[in-house]
Structure 1
Amino acid sequence: MKLVAVNKSKEKTLMSIFSRFQNIKQSLPFELFVGMRYTRAKRRNHFISFISLTSMVGIGLGVAALIVVLSVMNGFQEELRSRILGVASHLQVTGANNVLADWQSVASKVQTAKHVTGTAPYIMAQGMLSNGQAVQGAIVRGVLPSQEGKVSDLAEHMRAGQLADLKAGEFGIVLGAELAQSLGVILGDKVVLMAPQGQFTPTGVVPRIKQFTVVGLFQIGMYEYDAGLALINIEDAAKLYRMGDNVSGVRLKLDDLFLAPKISRDLAVVLSDETQALFLTDWTQEHANFFRAIQMEKRVMFIILALIVAVAAFNIVSTLVMAVTDKRADIAIMRTFGASPPSIMAIFIVQGALIGVIGTVVGAFFGVLIALNISTIVPFIEHLFNVQFLAKDVYYISELPSHLLWGDVLTIVILSFLLSLIATLYPSWKASKMNPAEALRYD
């Protein structure tokens, strides 16, 4: 076979690499050493370095964007959940036709159950509120002020007055801020509450009407409640809606809201000896569609932003294809020195994987940094450019919430690394199949 002259500078460089490798071969594998050497080396073709840098930056931006966006969506989900469950119950026990007799017995049984931290009775009904010409429909909830704080956070969201002002027999009412604004009332004003259940008189069916005094205003930050919920004392509700000693049900608060479905099943066994028909519902059933929509949106955003990482990762293919072409003489020399095709393939896998690892680590660092400090960064940007991303008169959540989950970060990092690794396989395989004689013939 005709010998091919080898470029003296390349031979000298490769001999230097092998000489250095012999000194450290006990601590570092050959493939890893050469792959790292190629990553650090100054290339004749600066375009390859530019593509490598672009790939790193793209992977870093994609990883950082994924972490920040998912953290913000987690923050919104947690914020909305806390606001909804600040009014709604984690779990509730109701009777047939919205009537529960002997609620004290039911409450005493469920109170001793594991994970239950508080119970409170309630009466739920619909009503029509009016003040002059202003008329507004609302959900009327009769509560026991002394126990309501055990199952809801309403007391923490009072803008005026307090729940304790709902005293039995005084017919006081606490309105949501939006509902009060619609009716045009403030603290101390009178509103008329009309119950849909009528009473029979010689002149026909007449709706039950009672005048209430506004003793408090609350604002949760959810329009559904702020514009459509009114609270009255449970005894006043029982008189107005003729419930007697009955209530609509018992509301429960749990120490872990995510255990609500399991605890609901457990309580069904505990209450199985009750003579009256009981129904148990938890917050995941009442607001299932809402939270399912948020979760679906989060998944879609993950897929869309993951494509950014995928596009950047597959830029590594271009980088390695050009690197293999640039290093074909080096590959041939290493093959003549005894390097096997799997070793050549591993060298370029290491080179491409390093690009992905560096981009992933840098992106994860900045993504976590931004996600943890977004409450500081966003106000600074708003002040700097004199803009407001979430206007208070449009959105109830005027601050951008963020909740970083390390599980999300780990998933994103693993995904980015795997995409980078997959992108190295084809060009590395092509390098391992290169014929040394053909590579040296034209060099």
Structure 2
Amino acid sequence: MFQPLPLAIGLRYLRAKRRNRFISFISAASILGIIIGVIALITTIAVMSGFQREIRDRLLGSVAHVTVEGAGRGLEDWDSVLAVARADARVVGAAPYVRREGLLSGARTSAALVMGIVPGEERSVSELAARMREGRLEDLREGEFGIVLGDQLALMLGVRVGDRVNATLNEFTSTPMGAMPRSRRFTVVGIFSMGEHTADSSFAFVALGDAQRLLRLGGAVTGVRVKVADLWQAGEVARHLAVRLGPEARVSDWMRDNRNFFSALSMERTVMFILLSLVIAIAAFNLVSSLVMLVQDKQADIAILRTLGLTPRQVMAVFIVQGSVIGVVGTLAGVLGGVLLSLNLGAIVRFIEGLVGHELMPADVYYITGVPTAVYPADVASVAAVALSLSFLATLYPAWRASRTDPATALRYE
């Protein structure tokens, strides 16, 4: 179909100045529509990917990649679990923890998730030490009953560093007056901000020994948190640890624990891709209109080419070439514009904020400053493939119409 002669004629028609300016306008609108559609789709997908990456990174700053917990009340032999985990070359850190739900009372009362940790080992599995806004993580010393709060939790409790809070945990002790919850007064020694709402509004950290003493766990812990070098290998590491540790340990990974959340984000991204693809489809319909009118305008030329020996397939190829080149030009320009806009969107937003004197994404509302973007080659290739496919399909009907032109009828009044 795509012989040199149809290709040459199709390219010639693109360079030729058309008699009908309206057809030229429709063709230009088609190219512009494809460019705008591709730019919008690439930029939107890049922003959604950026937010997804930002949320994932902030979530994993407070949540372990892999978690090993005891099947019963606690994990007694947690030293051996640490040894098995650290023996894996993919593991970069492992640390024990104690976890209990409870109530914290300061000027006000709020529910919280109290975590007992070893400050020195916590650095290897989370970003808590780097996220401290006030105080230091090392200020959690065993026996001093200090506590580190998320900034939103401290705000809800109405406390600051140096204030005291009463922790009432979800653990009961039998007394002559009945079951009484275990409680203890702690001193706030630090405040952190992970940039993730759940962690900042509900997490509180105490020294591991203080948590064990308060809950009367002896030497047991709730579990061990493990960090891997490649977070996408967390599932494989979890399966490996489950085999090595046996049925007495329950092993989970971050992908399994947060599957519903990330599935919802992925579904939202897919739906947005489909919806914005309709913009490119509209541009493709404009391309159909442009080519149909062009075919009508070139009836005499088509008839002459037919009488000179051009076959219907070659005539069809002429207009497929013309429409495909329009689609390729629009797609390439759109891809270039979309990638450049995505890579510089953060700077553009900051420039607009400077002009209007107003922050478009306040950190206290969105917990993310600026507009994060992530441009992945696979996403760009998918958008380009959609645009090229729709542009090619848009050429088929007008080209078929051109191939059905009867030379005698077309030349009757010429």
Per the alignment, residue 22 of structure 1 pairs with none
Name which of 362, 378, 385 aligns with 2:356.
Answer: 385
- Give me the whole-angstrom Cα distance separating, in 2, the residues matched to 1:97 and 1:129: 26
Cα deviation for residue 35 of structure 1 reads 0.6
Deviations 1:79-133 (A, max 9, x none): 000110000000111012451011000110121124111100000111211124x
Name the SS for the 1:394 alignment partner: helix
Q: Which amino acid aligns with 1:294?
A: L
What's the counterpart of residue 407 of structure 2? 436
Q: CA shift at 1:66, angstroms?
A: 0.6
Q: Percent identity?
A: 48
Residue pairs, 1:285-296, within 5 angstroms: 285-296=256-267
Matches within 5 A, 1:47-62: 47-62=22-37
TM-score of the superposition, structure 1-length normalised?
A: 0.91
C-alpha displacement of 1:302: 0.1
CA contact (8 A) 1:71 1:403 kept: yes
2:81 to 93, 106, 124: 106
Matched, 1:94 2:65: no
Structure 2 letter corresponding to 1:155: A
Q: How far does residue 317 in structure 1 lie from its aligned partner after superposition?
A: 0.8
The residue aligned with 1:252 is 226
In 2: Cα distance, 1:353 partner to 1:442 partner: 31
* Alpha-carbon spacing, 1:387–1:40, altered in 2? closer, same or farther (3 Å): farther
Partner of 2:381: 410
Counterparts of 1:196 and 1:75, CA distance in 2:
38
What is the 5 A alignment of 1:38-53?
38-53=13-28
- Asked whether 1:32 is paired with 2:3, we answer no
Query: In structure 2, what residue type is equivalent to 1:195?
Result: L
Structure 1 counterpart of 2:109? 135
Aligned partner of residue 364 in structure 2, secondary structure: coil
Structure 2 counterpart SS, 1:441? coil
The TM-score normalised by the length of structure 2 is 0.97
Partner of 2:213: 239
Aligned mates of 2:258, 2:44 — CA distance in 1? 23
Are the counterparts in 1 of residues 100 and 170 from structure 2 also a CA contact under 8 Å? no
Gaps of 5+ in 2: none
Q: Distance in 1 between matches of 2:364 and 2:134?
A: 20
Instruction: Write out per-residue CA displacement over residues 12-67 of structure 1, whole angstroms, 9 at most, x where no aligned residue.
Output: xxxxxxxxxxxxxxxx8111111111011111110000000110011000000011
Residue 269 of structure 1 and its aligned partner are, at CA, apart by: 1.6
Query: Does the 8 Å CA contact 2:69/2:224 hold for their aligned counterparts?
Result: yes
CA distance in 2, matches of 1:186, 1:98: 34
Structure 1 segments of 4 or more deviating over 6 A? none
Structure 1 SS opposite 2:152:
helix
Following the alignment from structure 1 to structure 2, what is the Cα–Cα distance between the partners of residues 112 and 38? 69
- Confirm whether residue 169 of structure 1 aligns to residue 140 of structure 2: no
Q: CA deviation at 1:292?
A: 0.8
Equivalent residues in 2 for 1:5-84, closer than 5 Å: 29-84=4-59
1:376 partnered with 2:376: no
1:152 counterpart SS class? coil
- Residues 297-348 of structure 1, C-alpha deviations (whole Å, 9 max, x = no match): 0000000000000110121111111111111111111111111111111100
Q: 1 CA distance for matches of 2:85 and 2:203?
A: 27
Cα contact 1:98–1:249 (8 A) shared by 2: no
- Give the one of 199, 220, 235 matched to 2:194: 220
CA distance in 2 between partners of 1:94 and 1:87 (Å): 17
On the 8 A contact 1:176/1:230 being kept in 2, the answer is: yes
- Say which SS state the counterpart of residue 363 (structure 2) adopts: coil
User: 1:277 and 1:81 mapped to 2: Cα distance?
Assistant: 30
Take 1:423 and 1:314, find their aligned partners in 2: how far apart are those partners?
Answer: 7
Aligned-partner Cα distance in 1 for 2:51–2:151: 22
Say if 2:255 is the partner of 1:284.
Answer: yes
Instruction: Give 1:204-215 correspondences, 5 Å limit.
Output: 204-215=178-189
- 8 A contact 2:153–2:200 mirrored in 1: yes
**Please, which of 315, 321, 326 is the counterpart of residue 292 of structure 2?**
321
Count of matched residue positions in the alignment of Structure 1 and Structure 2: 412
The more displaced of 170-179 and 263-272 is 263-272
Matches of 1:277 and 1:260 in 2, distance apart? 20
Q: Output the amino acid matched with 2:234.
A: A
What residue is the counterpart of 1:203 in the other structure?
177
193-202 or 362-371, which deviates more: 193-202
Q: Structure 1: 5+ residue runs without aligned partners?
A: 1-27
The alignment's C-alpha RMSD in Å is: 1.3
For 2:283, the equivalent position in structure 1 comes to 312
AA partner of residue 282 (structure 2): V
Bigger mean CA offset, 224-233 vs 379-388: 379-388
Distance across 2 between alignment mates of 1:384 and 1:189: 42
Specify the code of the residue in structure 2 equivalent to 1:88: V
Q: Can you list the C-alpha shifts for 1:369-391, whole angstroms capped at 9, x where unaligned?
A: 01011110111122223443212
Contact persistence 1:176–1:227 (CA under 8 A): yes
Amino acid corresponding to residue 55 of structure 2 in structure 1: L
